[in-house]
Structure 1
Amino acid sequence: MKIIVADSGGVEHALDAVEGWRVMEIIRAHGFGLEAECGGSCVCGTCQVHVDPAWAARLHEPREDELERLDENFAEPDERLSCQLIFTEELDGLRLVLPENVKAPEPA
């Protein structure tokens, strides 16, 4: 199972994904510099990602605390907190765009 993330340069990366992990954890496990200062407790809002429009309706609705963080951080309508997205089999192939400040890992 995979998620597809596009980095700030528009390069797409297919990341192996583990069911039950937060999307934030998957992105960070692959070496991307996603901040996620609070570690996934929906307090900081620094793990925002843009969700491909084709996938937006397939995600669960954000809870009130996520909506508050997104509002505080002036999120665009297509943004979600990756710490609040739990990867499931139904999300295999999920497509996201990372914010400009997120660095891709250096090639090996």
Structure 2
Amino acid sequence: MTQIRYIEANGTEYTVEAENGVSAMEAAVKHGVPGIDGDCGGAAACATCHVYVDTDWIAKTGPAAEGLEKSMLEFAEDVQENSRLACQITIADDLDGLALRLPEKQH
């Protein structure tokens, strides 16, 4: 199991144990993390799982992928260089301790 930290805009933090192979969105929804809706179920079709990857982790998660992920981020609010869709981040051992910050609101 890999620990993932989700940090709300107000600083409230949720640490969850996630199974390798699932997405960061799936782990958040399974553990009831507020602010991650995942309305499309992980198809990168809604941007309701928009997160900011802490700069210490962006090298491991990579930036938003060209194509569908970047296109969907155009619908999110307050997009930054470290913005990702949590449904496109696959949990693996090397992401243990990953910190994902949540925007103030999702669409």
Indicate whether the TM-score tops 0.5: yes
Aligned to 2:101: 97
Give unpaired runs (5+ residues) of structure 1.
Answer: 103-108
Give CA deviations for 1:57-86 in whole Å, capped at 9, x if unaligned: 111341411011112335221210000111
1:88 counterpart (76, 79, 92): 92
Give unpaired runs (5+ residues) of structure 2.
Answer: none
Tell me the TM-score normalised to structure 1 length.
Answer: 0.84
Indicate the SS of the match to 2:61: coil
Which shifted more, 14-23 or 66-75?
A: 66-75
Give the C-alpha shift of residue 14 in structure 1: 1.6
2:81 counterpart (73, 77, 84): 77
- The one-letter amino acid of 1:7's match is E
Indicate the SS of the match to 2:56: helix
Alpha-carbon RMSD across the aligned residues, in angstroms, is: 1.6
Superposed structure 1 runs of 4+ greater than 3 Å apart:
none
- Larger gyration radius, structure 1 or structure 2: 1
